[in-house]
Structure 1
Amino acid sequence: MLGLRTTIYKVSDIEAAKAWYTHAFSTKPYFDEPFYIGFNIGGYELGLQPEEVAGGEKIDSVLSYWGVEKIEEEYQRLLAQGATPHEAPTNVGGELMVASVKDPWGNVLGLIYNPYFKLPD
């Protein structure tokens, strides 16, 4: 195993989602095709794919957390951008904090402040 490489969110409107995620992560996609949009977020891939069948509620099954320095600020910024609350910023031990929002397409977007985790050199 080499570690996490890609998190993919299924969306009903890929162009609107591209604009939303470009703003949310302050990053333009490096790969942009109608079937897949890819962003490089700190060396990890965030992908968008069109939903085959739009509509219906999404089940919260897998949750990916994106690292942040200021979790409350990022949480509030995403809410101001049109996300809806999923889990308010919560201390889960020591300095470790997690939060999550739902994007406009119902995908859960996790945030984590984890000063203990370091990327390998």
Structure 2
Amino acid sequence: MADAKILGLRTVIYSATNLIKTKEWYTKALGIEPYFDEPYYVGFNVGGYELGLDPDIPTVEGSTITYWGVADIETDLKRLFELGATAHTDVQEVGEGIKVAAIKDPFGNVLGLIEDPHFSLA
């Protein structure tokens, strides 16, 4: 077990009890089409990470929030609100120019956004 370790984020799965409407919303919100689209699961490749929609997971607001990177948090929040999202937390500056906020999609899932000018995948 000495070699066991968490390697990093791979997949985030959101509830999609109405898979068709949820898929339509995320297609608009992400600005991309899903790469995998079946009646039991829809998957989007978001910057090399999986954002999945599962119709068999009930919507339950949990204690964790997954933050997805954006270049301009204010611009992206405005666009997501226009698509029907609602505020979960307001924009907060958390230090060194990093800003975070969270929204609820129209289906009750909490989606975090982070504007981090220092982030690099290097």
Q: TM-score surpassing 0.5?
A: yes
Q: How does 1:38-77 map to 2 (within 5 A)?
A: 38-51=43-56, 58-77=60-79
Whether the aligned pair in 2 keeps the contact of 1:75 and 1:89 (CA below 8 Å) is no
Task: Measure how far apart 1:52 and its partner are.
Answer: 5.1
Alignment partner of 1:35 is 2:37: no
User: How far does residue 22 in structure 1 lie from its aligned partner after superposition?
Assistant: 0.3
* TM-fit CA distance, 1:2: 2.4
CA-atom RMSD in angstroms:
1.3
Identity of counterpart residues, as a percentage? 51
Structure 2 match to 1:107: 109
Structure 2: unaligned runs, 5 residues or longer: 1-5
Q: Does 1:16 align with 2:17?
A: no
Task: State the Cα deviation string for residues 44-74 of structure 1 (Å, max 9, x = none).
Answer: 1100000355xxx722322110100000010
Which residue pairs with 1:82 in the alignment?
A: 84
Residues 1:52 and 1:25: Cα distance change in structure 2 (over 3 Å): closer
2:61 and 2:20 mapped to 1: Cα distance?
Answer: 23
Q: Which amino acid aligns with 2:40?
A: F
The size of the alignment, in residue pairs, is 117
Q: Moved runs in structure 1, 4+ residues, more than 3 A?
A: none
Normalising by structure 2, we get a TM-score of 0.90
* Contact 1:83–1:103 (CA under 8 A) maintained in structure 2: yes
Give 1:116 shift. Answer: 1.8
